[in-house]
Amino acid sequence: MGQESSAPQGGKALVSGANGYIGMWTVQTLLERRCSVRGTVRSVDKGKYLSDYFSKAGFGDKFEVVVVEDFSKEGAFDEAVKGVDAILHTASPFHWGAKNPQVPAVGGTSGVLNSALKYAPNVKRIVITSSCAALINTGLSKPTVFTEEGWNETAVKEAEEQGDKTHPGVIYCAAKVLAERFAWKFYEEHKSEVGWGITTILPAFVVGPPIQDVSSPTSLNQSLQMWYDNVLSGSAKKATLAQANTWVDVRDIALAHVLAMENKATGGERIIAAAGVCLLQDWVETANALQPNPLPSCKLSVGFPETLEGERVYHMSYSKAKEERILGIKFRTMEETTRAIFEEFAKRGW
């Protein structure tokens, strides 16, 4: 029933985790596309930063904040979902702090979907931030292309077997699998009762300029902190800079969420969003090649190019076929993303 519906431009969208790295860019993208936005945050202080930011940007009359202190609590989103046309659930952070893959990822997803089922009859689309971590399996011995058909069964099994001793990165991957599977199972069980469809967006490693409230490079979100530590701090090890990854600009991920909300063809789809493959050494070299450099006072490391002479091997990549067919995003280049990060850092005086 709901799969063929989509939320039109100009409607009202709820963005959970609106003060987060992806969440805040998603709010901005929605506002720029003439939507009204209600954003959830965990505290009044976090909400004030957003209200001030979007008011200064000229969107004050289109943006409102709702405080949801604990989004895993039953009924936490009951009031927040009322009166919206779409829900973009970005409130599942990327960090290594979780001890249990069920919390907070599954709890937050469950809370949003249950509240939408009960109190959001006008919702046409729910877009959920998953991750390519829900697809990949580690220890690749040869270059592998992952598609939307895959699931990271290895992480779930390890988390089940190792319990509290599970590596935090494995817990994160397992949490993404469990949360996304919960969403699809929930939809299948209730699709005859609702007028909305579900879309999950699976970002690759997310980098790009931060607009969220961060006071210094040491308080960045996990993915950008990893980028900063390896590309700008000069402390990266050879093996780290040689590790293959696949990346995407945070602004393109925000756009992917919004297009998924607007496009009928995204209903019932998992969609990978990735710009391309990379080694961290590629980012180091891109940063050094910027002319002019937006951070002239920053002494950049050159990394270890001599260890990567010849053809560089990218063991991990993702199929872009579905995204190209349904969303058609023109992803930013590594140079564009690096320049934007540097410009934002310079603006902040870092």
Alpha helices (H) in 33-167, listed in sequence order: 44-56, 105-119, 153-162
pLDDT of residue 1: 42
User: Each residue of 285-305: b (16+ CB within 10 Å) or e?
Assistant: bbbbeeeeebbeeeebbebbe
Strands across the sheet containing 276-279: 205-207, 244-249, 276-279
Cα gap 313→295, rounded to integer Å: 30
pLDDT of residue 71: 81
pLDDT of residue 316: 87
Q: Helix, strand, coil % (nearest 5) of the chain?
A: 45, 15, 40
Cα gap 330→328, rounded to integer Å: 7
What does the chain come to in residues?
350
User: Is cis: bond before 93, omega within 30 of 0?
Assistant: no
The CB-side HSE value for 94 (13 A sphere, CA atoms) comes to 25
H/E run at residue 316: strand 316-318
- Per-residue pLDDT in tens (0 to 9) along the chain, 350 residues: 445 567 667 799 999 999 999 999 999 999 999 999 999 999 999 999 999 999 999 999 999 999 999 887 889 999 999 999 999 999 875 544 555 655 556 889 999 999 999 999 999 999 999 999 999 876 667 788 999 999 999 999 999 999 888 988 899 899 999 999 999 999 999 999 999 999 999 999 999 999 999 999 889 999 999 999 888 877 788 888 988 899 999 999 999 999 999 999 999 999 999 999 999 999 999 999 999 999 888 888 889 888 777 778 888 899 999 999 999 999 999 999 999 999 999 999 98
pTM: 0.94
Residue 181 token pair: 């599977």
Burial class (CB in 10 A: 0-12, 13-18, 19+), 42: middle
Question: For tokens 């990218």, what's the residue?
Answer: 314
Domains and CATH numbers, the chain: 2-347 (3.40.50.720)
Please check whether residue 34 is in contact with residue 10, taking contact to mean a CB–CB distance below 8 angstroms: yes
pLDDT of residue 96: 46
DSSP letters of 169-204?
HHHHHHHHHHHHHHHHHHHHHHTTT-S-EEEEEEE-
- The residues near 310 (Cβ < 8 Å, ≥ 6 apart) are none
Cα gap 346→348, rounded to integer Å: 5
